[in-house]
Amino acid sequence: MNGNKRFMGHKIRRDGQNKADVQRLSSGQTPHAIVLSCSDSRVPPEIVFDQKLGEIFVVRTAGESLGDNAIASIEYALEHLGPQLLIVMGHTSCGAVKAALGTLDGSDAGSPALNALVGGLHPHLKSFKGKKNSANFSVEGWSVADGVAAELLTRSAIIKKHAQSGNLKIVTALYNLSDGAVDFKPNDTKPSTTPQATKDHTSSQSH
Ligand SMILES: [Zn+2]
């Protein structure tokens, strides 16, 4: 959140990406977060969160669509690198989301691989079939990010294990192409405290 504020205010950090940092990290990495996001060229997590070398472990696919490689990449990071946060980030006006919405009727996306990609998003978008799109496809984008986050827990015993242990917090987010802001919300697929109340496990929902 702080990094996105720096990005939006054009006050990006200058540390963390020098020759000394390359050397410091040459023997290992301990990224504090994993980011699963869209491949869209306008949404690079390292830039929109102002993160530098060794700080975030990034997995990107169009529309955050999941496959074995993406899931395994996240599993590897969790088992070996120690991150305690997993962000699933969609964005407004996502082309993959639009393509998935456009193929809900079963039409061809263009290739077997493309059909598999949009097919992976269809379960998260089926409730929008035949409906008018939201502004900038933001509601649909949230639905995909939330759906993919839930899907990670059902498709990966390793991710589920880390989430249930309390050592991993999973949140969803949506990047706004028009102003660069990232909106966050806690994912309700695991027990978690709100960002305002992280001290104990007794926070109420009233905040
Ligand atoms: Zn996208």
Separation of alpha carbons 162 and 36, rounded Å: 16
CA of 205 from ligand 1 middle (Å) equals 32
What pLDDT digit, counting tens, does each position of 52-106 carry? 999 999 999 999 999 999 999 999 999 999 999 999 999 999 999 999 999 999 9
CA of 99 from ligand 1 middle (Å) equals 10
* pLDDT-above-90 percentage for the chain: 89
Residues 12 and 50: beta-carbon distance below 8 Å = yes
With cut-offs at 50, 70 and 90, classify the pLDDT of residue 143: very high
Does the domain formed by 2-17+29-93+135-206 have CATH 3.40.50.300? Answer: no
This model's pTM is above 0.85: yes
User: Could you write out the three-class secondary structure of 159-202?
Assistant: HHHHHHHCCCEEEEEEECCCCCCEEEEECCCCCCCCCCCCCCCC
**DSSP code at position 63:** G
With cut-offs at 50, 70 and 90, classify the pLDDT of residue 169: very high
CA of 77 from ligand 1 middle (Å) equals 23
CA of 20 from ligand 1 middle (Å) equals 34
